[in-house]
Structure 1
Amino acid sequence: MGLERYRYIVVEGPIGVGKTTLAKKLAEHLGARSLLEDPDAIPFLPKFYRDMQRYALPTQLSFLFQRVEQVESLTQMDLFGGQTVADFMFDKDPLFAEQILSDDEFHLYADIYRHLRVRAPTPDLVIYLQADIETLIARVSTRAREYEAKIADGYLRRLAERYSRFFHDYAEAPVLIVNTDNLNLADNADDFRLLLRSIEGMRGAREYFNKA
């Protein structure tokens, strides 16, 4: 069976790794619906990168509420009537919260997260994109979002490490781990075809794709 067996695909990874670009490209290739985060709709985000300690909680809660709305819309979709590609997984939301919130703020966040009782559908496939910290820094610096220029290298490094730990233990869905350091999935058609073949060839619950 080919890509049609995956009704709900999630592309994940740290800031700058290219998850939104790949999610859009996959959705277009498959004729699928896309479900994308909208960071530009978070009013606190530019302030957060200027003063993380002050704006961490409102930023995190804004993302949480946005993701809740998106997941609720996903549960209302007929996942059997077409494919959906998302650039986020709701279950990873606490990953950011643990990094940026104080202990008291995280306890408040955790209470809100728990009371929302959101149950997102389990993906049929998770594509977890990795890259060296130098690659992430370079990619973030080339993006057009002015506020991202204030992201500290240490923040990106810690975030990438948290992603690595999260997916080391994740076992809810099949995971394809993709090293993107030598891939140009946005503009190189050959690289994109290599990835598609890797997805189509998946047989186990956890596989790796690395272009030497």
Structure 2
Amino acid sequence: MKINYLVIEGNIGAGKTSLATMLAKEFHAKEVLEGFNENPFLPKFYEDRDKYAFPLEMSFLADRYSQLNKNIREFELFSSFVISDYYFMKSLIFAQNTLSETEYQLYQRFFNIIYEKLPKPDLYVYLHLDVDNLLKNIEKRGRSYEQKMDPLYLEKISQGYFSFFNQQNNFPILILDTNKIDFVRNKEHYKRIAQLIFERDYPKGINRVLMD
């Protein structure tokens, strides 16, 4: 499968950045990673969601557009291979679960203006983990502001992704259930994922693979 623009997505703690980095290193791709650590509203959001949800989501919206727009333009210019650990639609999925109805309506107006201007991926890979495994990964990586993560919030984010998938047929979506594997520590598991991504052709819409 010829891929110029690959997206690796997943819920919080799914391992999307780890996989994107591993693939970019092996296949000499340009890596586009979300700079969430630089967002000053993120720790505040976990302390007071009602107060900081809207500025958080708006700042993410602006940052994601600026980053993707810059890197995709360079990709078109130099014909390089790009791997990103997020897709712009992520902004809307998270906003649905953090904003009030009136805030979301305003947010969606800004989102719609921007979304159509960005290119679509050649392949979108979603790493699915159950909430219990997400929480284990979150605990392991030790970010202090994430340690009181609400399991219900993670479940709603997961539902938001699958709702998006069910409405999407503009590009192939590969859903990998990774609950029973560890591609970071097990080289064979990683190789299998790489083969699934680069050695198969997928039709537009949802394609599911249960990994064990």
Give the TM interval when normalised to the shorter protein: over 0.9
* TM value normalised by structure 1: 0.92
Match of 1:192 in 2: 190
Match of 1:98 in 2: 96
* TM value normalised by structure 2: 0.92
Cα distance in structure 2, aligned partners of 1:143 and 1:22:
15
Question: Does the aligned pair in 2 maintain the 1:50–1:150 contact within 8 Å?
Answer: no
Q: How many residues align?
A: 209
Cα distance in structure 2, aligned partners of 1:103 and 1:38:
27
Aligned mate of 2:12, from 6, 12, 15? 15
Measured on the aligned residues, the alpha-carbon RMSD in Å equals: 1.6
Question: Does the aligned pair in 2 maintain the 1:10–1:86 contact within 8 Å?
Answer: yes
Match of 2:207 in 1: 207
Q: Displacement, 1:147?
A: 0.4
Q: 1:152 to 1:117 in 2, by over 3 A?
A: closer
Question: Does the aligned pair in 1 maintain the 2:39–2:59 contact within 8 Å?
Answer: yes
Q: Displacement, 1:75?
A: 3.1
Cα distance in structure 2, aligned partners of 1:200 and 1:112:
34
Q: Displacement, 1:81?
A: 2.1
Aligned mate of 2:81, from 74, 80, 83? 83
Where in structure 2 are the equivalents of 1:1-212 lying within 5 Å? 5-79=2-76, 81-116=79-114, 119-205=117-203, 206-212=206-212
Gaps of 5+ in 1: none
Cα distance in structure 1, aligned partners of 2:200 and 2:211:
16
Question: Does the aligned pair in 1 maintain the 2:88–2:115 contact within 8 Å?
Answer: no
Q: Displacement, 1:26?
A: 0.8
Residue type of the partner of 1:170? Q
Cα distance in structure 1, aligned partners of 2:161 and 2:69:
24
Query: Percent of counterpart pairs with the same letter?
Result: 33
Gaps of 5+ in 2: none
Question: What whole-Å deviation, never above 9, does each CA across 1:123-146 have from its counterpart, x for those lacking one?
Answer: 111111101111111111111211
Q: Displacement, 1:208?
A: 2.5
